[in-house]
Amino acid sequence: MGWEGFNLGLMEGADFSIKAKHLVLEVFDQANEGLSRGFKTYSEATNKQISEAYKMGDVAAGDIMSQEKYWESGLHQQRLASIGVLALDWLMSSLKGALQGASNYLNASHPGKGPYKGDGWLAKLQGEYYERFGIDFTRGPVDVCHIQELVLARNAGIHRDLEGPLEEYLAKVNRPSFIESGEDGKEFVFVTRNALVAIIDDAEKFVDWVVSEIEKLRPENAPQKA
């Protein structure tokens, strides 16, 4: 059976929503909660030990444990940041797969004539959708800049040791949703739950709109099954 016998909206839209909310967000929540519980337990126990050391007059031991707690706090922040970056990577990969899958749906009636020009996969897909289907990403219900920010933030987080990705993100997005400043003043990618939920909602709306536009181009004689 060909693609024309299926409801594309149910397939691509539902698959993306499941991955975004029941995998990406749920793993993000559970990982954050687990790390936060562990750090809270560690902090409470360490604070007690530090207090006892100072009460006993062992200033050196108290200072050492205080420094160790400070280092551990920094590591905890890095762990939380890493969870957020992995969530962005997973979400971006799922979004890319949904858009590519939707474009493949009309290979027979609207064959591609690539390669398509663009700086990065999103720009190339944007060009492909416009040339093949007349679908303009800038006319959707979600500002395509929000989708672009997901890609930029993911790249900056994944390639944090390279020069360029973070600077590109900060240069292209006026009010970045996924940036925090460390105690040293350096900015880094950090994902809060509110920001992740917001980009998931935007991505869902974007995917739903894209597949609805694709479905309008179905051959008239193609039966649509729910």
Split the chain (226 residues) into runs of 10 and give each run's mean pLDDT: 49 84 95 97 96 95 95 95 97 95 86 87 95 95 96 96 94 96 90 98 95 83 44
Q: What is the largest CA-CA distance in the chain?
A: 86
Q: Is residue 179 part of a domain?
A: yes
Residue 2, pLDDT score? 47
Q: Is residue 225 part of a domain?
A: no
Residue 110 to residue 215: CA distance in whole angstroms? 12
Q: Is residue 138 part of a domain?
A: yes
Say if residue 60 is exposed, middle or buried (CB neighbours under 10 Å; 0-12, 13-18, 19+).
exposed
Residues 6 or more apart in contact with residue 38 via CB below 8 angstroms: none
Residue 157, pLDDT score? 97
Residue 8, pLDDT score? 54
Residue 195, pLDDT score? 98
Q: Is residue 165 part of a domain?
A: yes
Residue 184, pLDDT score? 84
User: For residue 180, which phi and psi values (nearest 5 degrees)?
Assistant: -130, 165
Q: Is residue 226 part of a domain?
A: no
Residue 226, pLDDT score? 43
Residue 210 to residue 1: CA distance in whole angstroms? 23
- The count of structural domains within the chain is 1
Range of the domain at 185: 3-215
Q: Is residue 194 part of a domain?
A: yes
Q: Is residue 16 part of a domain?
A: yes
Q: Is residue 205 part of a domain?
A: yes
Predicted structure pTM score:
0.88
Residue 220, pLDDT score? 55
